[in-house]
Amino acid sequence: MNEKIWRGLGVSAGRAAGPIWYLKEFQADAARETPTDRSVEEELARLQQAITRTERNLTSLEEQVKAEQGEEVAQIFAAHKLLLSDPSFIGEAQQRLQKGQLSAEQALREVAEEAMQMLRSLEDPYFQERAVDVQDVLVQLLRNLQDTQEKVSDLFPKTGNYVVLADELTPAQTIALPKERVLGFIVRQGGKTSHTAILARTYGIPALVGVAEGWEDLRVQKWIELDGEEGWVRLSAEGHITSADNGLWEEDISSQSGSLQGMILAANIGSPGDLPLVQKFKAQGIGLYRTEFLFMGENLPSEEEQVEAYRQVIASCAPQLTVIRTLDIGGDKKAPALQLPQEKNPFLGVRALRLTLRRPELFRQQLRAIWRAAASGPTAIMFPMIATLEELAQAKENLWAARDEVLQDGHPVGELQIGMMIEIPSAAWLADKFAAKVDFFSIGTNDLTQYMLAVDRENTELAELYQPYHPAVLGMIARVSQAALRSGIWTGVCGEAGGEALLAPFFSAVGIKELSMAPGSLAKVRTTLAKLELSLAEREKLVESVLACASTAEVQEVLQSFYPLS
């Protein structure tokens, strides 16, 4: 065996081996970058059009990523959008175009190269890495200028698993790759805080960055092995394929299955495109299927398109349960095709069920699609943003009417568990009344926290006040779960708190049956629950101590003392 070894910075733990796939840097068509006969006005208009398209792409990426991976990762794309309106970037490019003789491509490239050079010359590596952001935006603008449809996902081989090698890997590229077939990332540039590092960790894919030495040699190898913790790459025998999940987590699952104190660990998803991640992280079903994304495009989906999208998820998760949430638009989620009026206070306005009850056609269509899709496997439906029993009654009326319509159309219908989200304090308080009317509760901790502490979770100035660990929030959750248990129905938690390893034992102790989270959080929560064996007395003690706390800080201290997480 060859002893050759390459070193880099390990940024996402795990070991993997497989064939190399090298991602070439995007080369814009050089001929198009030379001065053209077009007038200055034409070039400016082309640039503007490319900006508009890029902005649209970035917005949809941001929304998608925010829902799937959380705020931290989505923020990358918010930063990219700022570049599109940056006077020192786009403004500067426009000024150069004004002078004539340059194509929009050239002007952009000039300005971007200067910006990247400026950033790379800064001392702090945090700042140097921001050059990748400029590169990412530049590539997207150039593509949109040239209408190049060539996407990373088209370049990636159609079959097989690969270790991805790239000189630089932009977040948009990383997200476009079929992650289930990516064994690892090796990137020449970048440091610990690079986007590749953050994304690789969210996806649980081993990654190495900053592998500058010997790069040209590494690039032409065929089969390699990497360790994303120790930070090395070496040659490996051809035909040898391993991925991080069957090294790291397979063991966890086999040795600990059945010992999760009866807790079901499910995944939150936004589209059928997330299914590979669900399988990779071995989720036990889908605890939250957000249907918003279907509705966020320029056109609304047809009933058939909806049936197809739901069916794909349900069939792939069967025999495990898929919980579909009806449309939750409004608040922070926009849908241009629905032409919603601007509201002064969107989080307290016409969002989610409040919207669908006002748009019966839209609502019925979705309900029909869900009934039809439910024929392909175990399915549950839940309604978001319920404040009163009347709303629940109306939603259920629509649900039964939709079932009749489907039967009249001659389509088969499936069985549905009917549930509701608990995220508004009034519904949480009346949980015992609601429990008599539904099959299950799913607690949306993000909104419950926001509404209980009266803090807009988008308002960065109040970030400190947004406290999912607040004893009032946890007390409310305990109360809801106990009301559900008394009525013989089950309760899940599907907000971001559901993916917090520190809270999992508490949730288990108050009788929560399912935790649903971003697929990337499953391994950690699973390991935490499996390691912890609490007796009944200890569980009672845990709940009692948490509920006796007066502040978030106290709660965190109590939780840490019960099971210190390394």
Partner 1 sequence: MLTRELTINNKSGLHARPATLWVQTASRFRSKIKIKRGGSVVEGKSILGILSLGLSAGSVFELLVEGEDETEAVATLEQLMIDLENQDR
The residues that touch partner 1, with contacts defined as CB under 8 A, are 72, 75-76, 78-79, 82-83, 86-89, 115, 118-119, 122-124, 126-127, 130, 133-134, 193, 460-461, 463-464
Shortest spacing between CB 130 and partner 1, in angstroms: 5
Burial code (b: 16+ CB inside 10 Å, e: under 16) for 109-132 equals bebbeebbeebeeeeeeeebbbbb
Q: Any idea what DSSP says for residue 274? A: G
Does 195 participate in catalysis according to the annotation? yes
Shortest spacing between CB 108 and partner 1, in angstroms: 13
Structure tokens at 166: 């790239």
Shortest spacing between CB 76 and partner 1, in angstroms: 8
Compare residues 58 and 525 and give the one whose CB is closer to partner 1.
58
Compare residues 202 and 491 and give the one whose CB is closer to partner 1.
202
Rounded CA separation 127/193 (Å): 10
Catalytic residue (one of 80, 317, 470, 494): 494
DSSP 466-530: --TT-HHHHHHHHHHHHHHHHHT-EEEE-SGGGG-TTTHHHHHHTT--EEEE-GGGHHHHHHHHH
Whether the Cβ atoms of residue 423 and residue 404 lie closer than 8 Å to each other: no
Whether the Cβ atoms of residue 11 and residue 207 lie closer than 8 Å to each other: yes
Compare residues 308 and 458 and give the one whose CB is closer to partner 1.
458
Place of tokens 């403004």: 91
Shortest spacing between CB 184 and partner 1, in angstroms: 24
Rounded CA separation 316/118 (Å): 49
Compare residues 86 and 432 and give the one whose CB is closer to partner 1.
86
Catalytic residue (one of 80, 195, 470, 549): 195
Shortest spacing between CB 463 and partner 1, in angstroms: 6
Compare residues 195 and 351 and give the one whose CB is closer to partner 1.
195
Tell me how crowded residue 366 is: count the other CB atoms within 10 A of its CB.
25
DSSP 512-540: --EEEE-GGGHHHHHHHHHH----HHHHH
At residue 273's C-alpha, the angle toward residues 269 and 276, to 5°, is: 85
Whether the Cβ atoms of residue 435 and residue 394 lie closer than 8 Å to each other: no
Place of tokens 């490019």: 93
Shortest spacing between CB 188 and partner 1, in angstroms: 20
Shortest spacing between CB 104 and partner 1, in angstroms: 19
| Alpha carbon of residue 380 to chain centroid | 21
Compare residues 75 and 545 and give the one whose CB is closer to partner 1.
75
Q: What are phi and psi of 443, to 5 degrees?
A: -90, 120
Compare residues 190 and 206 and give the one whose CB is closer to partner 1.
190
Structure tokens at 518: 């971003």
Annotated active-site positions, please?
195, 494
